[in-house]
Structure 1
């Protein structure tokens, strides 16, 4: 059984009502055109005003395999005393209006036919809110970028309405459910070369990882994927404990797994302890241990652990090795930029640290010149991916490059391996080479499809996934340790009259452009992206009446933007990276690159080559691509926005007592904050994606070691993962993001192991603005995010009227 999504806002007329005050009433059919909340005389009844809608509901009811969930809702919110509360000026006009939402359930084989039937009748399925079942869902009217993706409805979203941002933490955690019921692990002490004392959960992690590096445990049917069985005649067979199938051939060797402890639990120290505990043996011992491997010979084996990290974390890992280990216990080398020595030179080291982008660049060269020596010439003792969710797109160059590396042990580290998308987890399994599920087709047939069809009656798919995850994963939440308390606050701010006027004018402008696209069928030969219009509203929430760039004005006025994925890392290209629209020098339809990959490509250039960088397939010199700057004439302190003034007041209040971390997604917003801090004489430092690693490290050092530096400004694109910002105890998030996990990653840089003080996080929301809608959209796992952030350029045919109508609805 699948959820196909919802028919939204069918107008109904309220005929009679009980005394229960609610703007959300579950109903059932009473007759073809009538609905009722119950069978008694005091129930609330409604009449379906739209004859065409009533006929559609009648047709759906005639299909035995199709079931529905119905509820009526009003546009007026009620408080606890039963009186309506005005949400906006529109509420007066909408008072007394009620709407019917129809959530449709049915088998997968009917999805396309029902979608076609509704499209012909000009009815379009929208994203689900208020579903009472936890089931897979698929919307035939929404673009689905990945056919293997399984999205579950969220039981925590019980009713539509206005929710506070704290509710982002609610909802079922799929990974936590999969890990339930595990046997407690014994504790293994770290080796003597590790000077830092481990927490209990880190000692248990070390136990798990050492066991996994021993390979398959064929005697343990309960906690491993493969087990050994003999029949009555003594013949041996290998049983797949996920599916129950058996084979006479032994599965390929697998040593490694997934370290998925919650953010802030010290996964770095856990992995360092493993590296220190299980160092490589001598070459001849290695050959004896793996006699079947043709990849291993004394000339192409390495004793080193190859550690692959985001660029911002290179120095972080190097520092962690120095911090936790006895001096010179392990020899570490950073293989990055111009420090790329020969393979023979690397043999002397125990740990080689490099970046995803360096690996991708080497892989690209290796694919064309396989006889040349490179990191791909070696079979490493161990490969570790930090922030492994970076390879969640299996088709990206980064994922393919990492999967092509050879090693006897393979580990992935991430606090977010599954975000309701099984393809994310499948990509990690492919890197780990967990037989047979490293094969994408097998994973889809034996894991994804059964999980997609799981129900409360038949949980086979869920149990299969649970068996696989628990065999290769260790994951704990922050409840296993005692951290200082964390208080999450939301500061609701109100626009000034001038800001409100500007916001409302821009909202009308956006609606007109979307209406124009709907009426024209979006057949203008270009790719329409409603997100650029919505982002303009988000920027007004941050910047108030201050003028944006003329280039941004031009792009938004056209209502046309290209949506693409970076061809290197697979991340979505967003205008926030450059603080405005995409630079004209980047042909993102042919060879799209994100800012981070551009900077890394520049780092990976041969020093003897020109200082300018040209992307494949382009003729433009990226030296001409500059981030927009802020000048006094553009952004006057006199007219600073409500939000930034509120931030400044809070920073002033606590500047002598606590250090603060300010997160934003737009560098232009950070520029404004920087201007205000300078004007008020508050010392600060800053890290963002435009800065080289050396300057980022200097900024982090100043924030940590200089008492007079009270604030650090951080771009979430480079500060949301891996960094230790525990010097600060107040964290500010200037705007909500589409993905709440990105927000949590950023805030966990402050609230984590090594934090000694109580942490306060502050999120700013502008009242009665699109920011409040984003909080709702964060809970909706499909429609807008997948519509605007697809895995490839959105095609002309892909942006259908249903999607545009949804974008229009959030501007009402």
Structure 2
């Protein structure tokens, strides 16, 4: 008997008690009920969907199903002929297959082309079960001039076991102040094979050298930084530990890959750091490579070593996608690779000829995907981490982090550390009548300008203007002079210089860690980074197109700037309290009639209370992101009789080290003024016990890093920090991501 199409043989059984009564919906159908074979019916789910769409009038309990018929016919002589036909059909048909989601179909397609991906998550689950919930302790290593605490011995054992695993490294994410540096030095001593490269922020290079010389004097350590650094790879390879900064690492990589112009010719200079196969590479404060497309991240990816380590107390600051760069640096296979869905092509880089065809397989970009983005990032972006595929992706991410990351908190290890309590206070003060009038006037003007952008539909085109308006309001909360006396000349030249300083075109203040764009405009490195991040968001690299490139916030040309370029040299000496020639904002003020602000006076009040305590040895850190505000604070504190030190972003490593030592070793110096952008990470300032954050940053992790400069091993005084509450709600929202790095 010929097979009949379901479209031509759709029927609806009207009366279960009468198996002979059928109603055909197609007048031309020659369907005969005697052709039905009860045991040979099977569901055609595709045609079933069509039937439901076109035949909604089916009335009995189970909807009539379109069928495919086999070659046998029903003779009517079976022993079960007394059973109604409809019951036999429903009892013996196959159960319909569950409908797959689009994501599940994509996973099946990917696994079919790349079978090695099928058991990835099961393998991670097995690794986590084998690791267990309790870490064993290593033996106290010989050659370390310190007794490791119990949790540090556990950390050392984990470091050693990770180097024996497939990962050959990992992410040590203990909270700030728990001795990550000491644990890594212990690992170096336990396996003294040379050489080891340590990449750290500029402010931390000399601190690393002091720590190595203090705890492991047997190791030879050198600092590869500055204009006098050697280019002899053999000399570097003979050292036990080589210390360098992210800026130097990026610079050498850029010179090797893109070259430099010398006498009209493009010359490529080989990078000594990338020409050595290192025993270990350690990235301190590894969140510096969180932007996967930056030259800093690419320069780290290009390094070669046997083992790779990332150290960061705040591995996740803004977005889940920031973890990708660390996974990529560690060489996570398959999580850091791109896969083609039409062939076995697999690549660690997104490489295409003219953005049209893959350099490896010749297929289009649309059929390639990042395993990290596909399995983790996009589902969380789409559904969050509390429901649906986003929740499943969150579980996968936790599973991955459990296998490559070790994170302990001070609260969990409070008994081992014996740290004093840390108290965070939010002090709220009211404006003076004059300050309130100025702020309301600025607020009204800002609201009116924003409403104009909103009415014209040009909000996104005026992002830099809106950012400047918000920055001005924050500065007004600090001191009116930061707005009213921001500059004295309107004829700003193309270099962005006003008299003796570089001025940022975004915040309109003296540029902190200034860098220059191709269109010859100066920006603070942090300001322009935040500006660019507002455009990038979580857009995947393979989905970015030229039309999403942001414009220069000043001249609106296509923005081209190297975020990792060396900072511009200041056109004049760094302002210091002892320099009789006032610079910056102080040179634009009449100091004989100058008035302080509510916030500065609140700081003076807090510091005066400390000075009146019986213990005169209490020291304080004062953080602000505005250098001009630090100038005003320094002037007011000096008039009140406080001895101060300052740390700013344009200081050399040697100058920073001298300033830190002066603060730590002189009892009379009670206040350390620190730029939040320059000194908020990698410092060990346990001599201080008070932290004052004068203006909150958008990213809460930056403030946590700043407060933990003093709340760390070696601190014996109770810790108190005070912060402004203007941006606390935004910080709390971003802090929710810290759930990813907490123990389950």
Pick the TM interval, shorter chain.
0.5 to 0.7
Deviation at 1:262, TM superposition (A): 1.1
1:415 aligns with 2:371: no
Aligned with 1:650 (options 606, 612, 620)? 606
Q: Tell me, in whole angstroms, the C-alpha distance in 1 between the residues paired with 2:438 and 2:587.
A: 21
Indicate if the aligned counterparts of 2:482 and 2:629 stay in contact, CA closer than 8 A. no
1:323 aligns with 2:253: no
Deviation at 1:739, TM superposition (A): 1.4
What's the counterpart of residue 183 of structure 2?
A: 270
What's the counterpart of residue 385 of structure 1?
A: 283
Deviation at 1:751, TM superposition (A): 1.1
- Structure 1 segment 592-611 matched on structure 2, within 5 A: 594-595=524-525
Aligned with 1:739 (options 699, 702, 712)? 699
Q: What CA deviation, in whole Å up to 9, does each residue of 1:116-145 have, x standing for no partner?
A: xxxxxxxxxxxxxxxxxxxxxxxxxxxxxx
1:501 aligns with 2:441: no
- Structure 1 segment 282-301 matched on structure 2, within 5 A: none
What's the counterpart of residue 552 of structure 2?
A: none
Runs of 4+ displaced beyond 4 Å = 368-371, 450-459, 523-528, 550-556, 573-578, 580-583, 588-598, 615-618, 620-628
Aligned with 1:491 (options 411, 416, 427)? 427
Indicate if the aligned counterparts of 1:502 and 1:545 stay in contact, CA closer than 8 A. no
Q: Give the match's secondary structure for 2:586.
A: coil
What's the counterpart of residue 464 of structure 1?
A: 396
- Structure 1 segment 290-689 matched on structure 2, within 5 A: 303-325=194-216, 327=217, 329-341=218-230, 342-368=232-258, 372=270, 374-419=272-317, 421-439=319-337, 441-452=370-381, 453=383, 455-456=386-387, 459-479=391-411, 480-481=413-414, 482-522=418-458, 528-544=464-480, 548-551=484-487, 575=506, 578-579=509-510, 586-587=516-517, 594-595=524-525, 624=571, 629-631=584-586, 634=589, 636=591, 638-655=594-611, 656-689=616-649
Q: Give the match's secondary structure for 1:381.
A: strand
Q: Tell me, in whole angstroms, the C-alpha distance in 2 between the residues paired with 1:524 and 1:212.
A: 46
Q: Give the match's secondary structure for 1:529.
A: helix
Indicate if the aligned counterparts of 2:256 and 2:270 stay in contact, CA closer than 8 A. yes
Indicate if the aligned counterparts of 1:546 and 1:641 stay in contact, CA closer than 8 A. no
From the superposition, tell whether residues 732 and 575 of structure 1 become closer, same or farther in structure 2 (CA, over 3 Å). farther
Q: Tell me, in whole angstroms, the C-alpha distance in 2 between the residues paired with 1:470 and 1:659.
A: 39
Q: What CA deviation, in whole Å up to 9, does each residue of 1:718-766 have, x standing for no partner?
A: 121110111011111111221111111100111111111111112245x
Indicate if the aligned counterparts of 2:663 and 2:669 stay in contact, CA closer than 8 A. yes
What's the counterpart of residue 9 of structure 2?
A: none
Q: Give the match's secondary structure for 1:191.
A: coil
From the superposition, tell whether residues 336 and 430 of structure 1 become closer, same or farther in structure 2 (CA, over 3 Å). same
What's the counterpart of residue 195 of structure 1?
A: 145
Indicate if the aligned counterparts of 2:468 and 2:507 stay in contact, CA closer than 8 A. no
Q: Tell me, in whole angstroms, the C-alpha distance in 1 between the residues paired with 2:607 and 2:590.
A: 20
Indicate if the aligned counterparts of 2:586 and 2:632 stay in contact, CA closer than 8 A. no
Deviation at 1:447, TM superposition (A): 2.7
From the superposition, tell whether residues 521 and 314 of structure 1 become closer, same or farther in structure 2 (CA, over 3 Å). same
Q: Tell me, in whole angstroms, the C-alpha distance in 1 between the residues paired with 2:379 and 2:478.
A: 45
Deviation at 1:413, TM superposition (A): 0.4
Deviation at 1:682, TM superposition (A): 1.2
Deviation at 1:525, TM superposition (A): 7.5
What's the counterpart of residue 210 of structure 1?
A: 160
1:777 aligns with 2:737: no
Q: Give the match's secondary structure for 2:458.
A: coil
Deviation at 1:190, TM superposition (A): 3.5
Deviation at 1:350, TM superposition (A): 0.5
From the superposition, tell whether residues 659 and 575 of structure 1 become closer, same or farther in structure 2 (CA, over 3 Å). farther
Deviation at 1:340, TM superposition (A): 2.0
From the superposition, tell whether residues 436 and 745 of structure 1 become closer, same or farther in structure 2 (CA, over 3 Å). same
From the superposition, tell whether residues 591 and 196 of structure 1 become closer, same or farther in structure 2 (CA, over 3 Å). farther
Deviation at 1:693, TM superposition (A): 1.8
What's the counterpart of residue 11 of structure 1?
A: none
Deviation at 1:521, TM superposition (A): 2.4
Q: What CA deviation, in whole Å up to 9, does each residue of 1:566-598 have, x standing for no partner?
A: xxxxxxx89459447998x93366887645899
Q: Tell me, in whole angstroms, the C-alpha distance in 1 between the residues paired with 2:463 and 2:197.
A: 42
Q: What CA deviation, in whole Å up to 9, does each residue of 1:757-808 have, x standing for no partner?
A: 111112245xxxxx2xx222333459xxxxxxxxxxxxxxxxxxxxxxxxxx
Q: Tell me, in whole angstroms, the C-alpha distance in 2 between the residues paired with 1:377 and 1:310.
A: 22
Deviation at 1:368, TM superposition (A): 4.2
Q: What CA deviation, in whole Å up to 9, does each residue of 1:633-670 have, x standing for no partner?
A: 61647411011011112212213251111111111111
Q: Give the match's secondary structure for 1:668.
A: helix
Deviates more, 1:450-459 or 1:394-403: 450-459
Deviation at 1:207, TM superposition (A): 0.5
Deviation at 1:552, TM superposition (A): 9.0
What's the counterpart of residue 730 of structure 1?
A: 690
Indicate if the aligned counterparts of 1:555 and 1:581 stay in contact, CA closer than 8 A. no
Q: What CA deviation, in whole Å up to 9, does each residue of 1:667-713 have, x standing for no partner?
A: 11111111012212211111011222222111111111111111111
State the number of aligned residues.
506
From the two aligned structures, give the one with the greater helix fraction: 2
Deviates more, 1:469-478 or 1:630-639: 630-639
Q: Tell me, in whole angstroms, the C-alpha distance in 1 between the residues paired with 2:652 and 2:249.
A: 18
Indicate if the aligned counterparts of 1:688 and 1:719 stay in contact, CA closer than 8 A. yes
Q: What CA deviation, in whole Å up to 9, does each residue of 1:433-467 have, x standing for no partner?
A: 01111226111123324555565566432232122
Gap regions ≥5 residues in structure 1: 1-107, 110-177, 217-253, 281-302, 557-561, 563-572, 599-614, 766-770, 783-812
Q: Tell me, in whole angstroms, the C-alpha distance in 2 between the residues paired with 1:579 and 1:324.
A: 40
The two structures, once aligned, show a CA RMSD in angstroms of: 3.5
Q: What CA deviation, in whole Å up to 9, does each residue of 1:75-132 have, x standing for no partner?
A: xxxxxxxxxxxxxxxxxxxxxxxxxxxxxxxxx99xxxxxxxxxxxxxxxxxxxxxxx
From the superposition, tell whether residues 626 and 537 of structure 1 become closer, same or farther in structure 2 (CA, over 3 Å). farther
Q: Give the match's secondary structure for 1:631.
A: helix
Q: Give the match's secondary structure for 2:176.
A: coil
Deviation at 1:621, TM superposition (A): 8.8
Q: Tell me, in whole angstroms, the C-alpha distance in 1 between the residues paired with 2:702 and 2:460.
A: 34
TM-score, with normalisation over the residues of structure 2? 0.63
Q: What CA deviation, in whole Å up to 9, does each residue of 1:244-271 have, x standing for no partner?
A: xxxxxxxxxx310000011221111111
Q: Tell me, in whole angstroms, the C-alpha distance in 2 between the residues paired with 1:650 and 1:523.
A: 41
1:708 aligns with 2:668: yes
Q: Give the match's secondary structure for 1:377.
A: coil
Q: Tell me, in whole angstroms, the C-alpha distance in 2 between the residues paired with 1:593 and 1:256.
A: 37
Q: Tell me, in whole angstroms, the C-alpha distance in 2 between the residues paired with 1:529 and 1:194.
A: 54
Deviates more, 1:439-448 or 1:631-640: 631-640
What's the counterpart of residue 681 of structure 2?
A: 721
Q: Tell me, in whole angstroms, the C-alpha distance in 2 between the residues paired with 1:451 and 1:719.
A: 33
From the superposition, tell whether residues 428 and 404 of structure 1 become closer, same or farther in structure 2 (CA, over 3 Å). same
Q: Tell me, in whole angstroms, the C-alpha distance in 1 between the residues paired with 2:702 and 2:207.
A: 20
TM-score, with normalisation over the residues of structure 1? 0.58
